[in-house]
Structure 1
Amino acid sequence: MSNKVLFTDLLAVDNMSDLSTMNGHEVVATDPQHLEPSCTLILILTGKVIMNVFIFGARHRKVSASFLGYCCFALAAVDFALLFAVSAIHFFQDFSIFGVRFTSYHTCLFTQIISHTYGILHLPIFFISGLDYYLTIVKPVKISWIFLHLLYVVVMLLMWITAFTYVLLQSPPKAPEVHSEKTAHICTFYISNQSFYLSATLVLAIVLVIAVCCTQIVSFIKSLKVLSYARNTVVLFSFPPGNQWPIRGRKRLLTALVFSFLGTWGPFVVLQMIIFALCAHIPAYMDMNVPWLYFINSFLIATAFGLKYPDLQMTDQTLSSDPFIGWKYCILPFMDTKQSKDSSLLPAEVTVI
């Protein structure tokens, strides 16, 4: 009997009984593709690794350390390890390392383990990162730089080890089912409900903020100006005459936060809406990715700034927590005069174009 594993079109099926605690379900392969299944998986993983490299290259260089930042690097490392393992198995077909034999069956096994692990990490990463920003932005706790980095590494490692252990002990991936007609193993992939509900909640929260601040959004759009600073394009929103520094009003701050957030992540939000509309089933090994984590990172930072108002006594380190959004120019108008005129926060020269 052939030992080949099929990775093909995905079709949703009912929850597996032994996976009920994982808050998700599995999908099975149905119609075989003309391209060899392992090649398809390698191409998908290669694209994901290239996307990770591109995202890391596009980040701002001067960024404060955060728990989510460490999670992004850990996720990229696991993605690369999975790609390396699948590629090695595809190339050598059947080989042994230290007495352990690896065949095409392990291509399915490794991908299943990674999918289940990714699928249960969405909420833990979200809540731990939220706690991180609460203790560093909303209610800042003074911790030494070395201890903070060590804490991030320890918590991140414990989280990943716990997730892998849970998957292997509580809900181990099943062996591929044997297809009687094609004498091949049919591999199933895990679909995470955590990802769906978390993504739906974030998008709904953004839509609700837009609905609540619709009046401020209209006035902001009417006052839009484009500036050039340090060879970067800066979007400036002027306020009606009579307003003094600092600008007051939680709705105005939320509007500024939404504009800054959507200015970077707007296409990603639209993509999430399209996925919801199409009811697309995305395997967990693809659903958990670096752009998704940075999207959560920006959302949590914006939420922390909203909770911090009106006591916006920020430092340059606090405002540089996001590697993609420059929150500094969004928050400055709402900060007290003495704090906002700090030379480390206020730019020396801005030229209108």
Structure 2
Amino acid sequence: MNISIPGILLGLGAKCLLSWALVFLQRNHICRSFVGVFSVSLAVVDTALTLTFTTIYIDSDGHVFLLDLQLTRYHTCLLAQIFGQVYSALQWPVVVVASLDHLCTMSLQPSACGAKWIVHSVVTVLMWYLAALYVFLLSDFIPVLEDVPHHQMHQCWVFHTTQISQIAMLLFLVLGCAALHAVCSTRLLKNPPLRGQSTDHSRTHSRTNVAGQALRIFLDTWALFLILLAVLLLVPMEIPAYLGLNVAWLCLVNSFLIAVLFCVVCPTSQLANGSAAVPPDSFCEWRLNLAWEQRTEHDCTK
């Protein structure tokens, strides 16, 4: 797709401001999760890219030099394409690493997660490095530049991202399956259990209730964003690759992964006594009502 250079600059500037605003909003626990540390690194990279892009564009005569290399508007288009490819290459790895990080947080004791920010920082730097190596050495990335003098360039060809659509489709598929499972489980659990099956019935009820509450908390917070995401999928609208990976998107993915792990891991015994370590989330308040579980266990012991 062709986008004007001022349009690219405006999009990068808005993305940069949004990134730092969300980082500031999560400042109290930004280093407690991989998503938080990676969000800071993304905001820093966006800021550096925006400042470089602005400097080159303003000085249209080409008097900007870097290591004896004259930077022109050709390089602004090249930077937009390169970073777009790097951002696209990072989409799925970030989701996978964030899932493993949340799984570790919910499975281990809180005391075992004290200095994880060091590991998060090392993994973040390594992921940026590997993504850049992939784009330059392993991918089939070929820059697309106009055959005109640099001072006559007014727009750039940029690639669109497909990873956003893939992750969004997976997200809606999981939400649909979770909602269907919750409805079916609710109907099945209406039948009273036999005396010898009371323990299994209580465990099934426990898992279903936690999953239902996690799904409801997630939808109450992100419903409007999900509607917008569904509209983008149905149109369909091409999203420039340099805008695809942003902190707002990472916040949505972070909440979604926590909700999924609540459904899968379901540490109800730890949640009941308050010893479970819940991954940090600045948007969803993950407080589950487990009073019913204590009443059920009390009834089963009679």
* Coarse TM-score class (shorter-chain normalised): 0.7 to 0.9
Q: Which runs of 5+ in 1 are unaligned?
A: 1-9, 11-28, 219-244, 338-353
**Secondary structure at the residue paired with 1:190?**
coil
Question: Which of 35, 48, 52 does residue 15 from structure 2 map onto?
Answer: 48
Q: SS in structure 1 opposite 2:96?
A: helix
Q: Indicate whether 1:92 and 2:59 are aligned.
A: yes
Shift in CA distance, 334/121, structure 1 to aligned 2, threshold 3 Å:
farther
**Mapped partners of 1:114, 1:139: distance in 2:** 36
**1:111 maps to amino acid:** A
Q: Name which of 257, 265, 277 aligns with 1:300.
A: 257
Change (3 A) 1:309 1:298: same
1:264-283 superposed matches below 5 A: 264-283=221-240
Q: Name the amino acid aligned to 1:55.
A: L
Higher normalized helix content (fraction of residues): 2
Q: Which residue number in structure 2 is paired with residue 130 of structure 1?
A: 99
How far does the alpha carbon of each residue in 1:4-51 deviate from its partner, in whole angstroms, 9 at most, with x for none? xxxxxx3xxxxxxxxxxxxxxxxxx2xx8xxxx322211111111122
Q: Secondary structure at the match of 1:321?
A: coil
Q: CA deviation at 1:195?
A: 2.2
Asked if the contact 2:210/2:263 (under 8 Å) is kept, the reply is yes
Distance (whole Å) between structure 1 residues aligned to residue 292 and residue 204 of structure 2: 5
1:1-353 alignment to 2 at 5 Å? Answer: 10=1, 29=2, 37-59=4-26, 61-62=28-29, 65-93=32-60, 94=62, 95-138=64-107, 143=112, 145-146=114-115, 148-171=116-139, 172-178=141-147, 184=153, 187-214=156-183, 248-309=205-266, 311-314=268-271, 318-319=277-278, 321-327=280-286, 329-330=287-288, 332-333=290-291
Indicate the SS of the match to 1:174: coil
| Paired letter, 1:297 | N
> What is the RMSD of the two structures over their aligned residues, measured on CA atoms?
3.1
Contact residue 138 and residue 305 of structure 1 kept, 8 A: no
TM-score, scaled relative to structure 1: 0.69
Q: What amino acid maps onto 1:50 in structure 2? A: L
Aligned-pair CA distance for 1:206: 1.1
Cα deviation 1:295-315 (Å, max 9, x = unaligned): 111111111222222544145
Is the deviation greater in 207-216 or in 93-102?
207-216
State the AA in 1 paired with 2:117.
H
Which structure shows the higher strand fraction? 1
Indicate if the aligned counterparts of 1:248 and 1:334 stay in contact, CA closer than 8 A.
no
Q: Distance in 1 between matches of 2:276 and 2:16?
A: 29
Q: Which moved more, 1:183-192 or 1:76-85?
A: 183-192
CA–CA distance in 1 between the matches of 2:84 and 2:136?
12
Q: Which whole-Å CA distance do the structure 2 matches of 1:162 and 1:284 have between them?
A: 18
Between 78-87 and 306-315, the greater mean CA deviation after superposition? 306-315
Offset of residue 334 of structure 1: 6.7
- In structure 2, the gaps of 5 or more residues are 188-201, 296-302
Shift of 1:247: 11
Distance change in 2, residues 1:82/1:43 (3 Å) = same
Offset, 1:331: 5.3
Counterparts of 2:31 and 2:292, CA distance in 1: 22
Give the count of matched residue pairs: 275
Aligned-pair identity (%): 26
**How far apart, CA to CA, are the structure 2 residues paired with 1:136 and 1:163?**
25
Distance 1:213 1:311, change over 3 A: closer
* Structure with greater contact order relative to length (CA < 8 Å, sep ≥ 6): 2
1:321/1:261 CA distance change after superposition, 3 Å: same
How much does 1:207 deviate?
2.2
Q: Is 2:105–2:278's contact at 8 Å kept on the other side of the alignment?
A: no
SS at match of 1:318: coil
Letter of the 2:16 counterpart: V
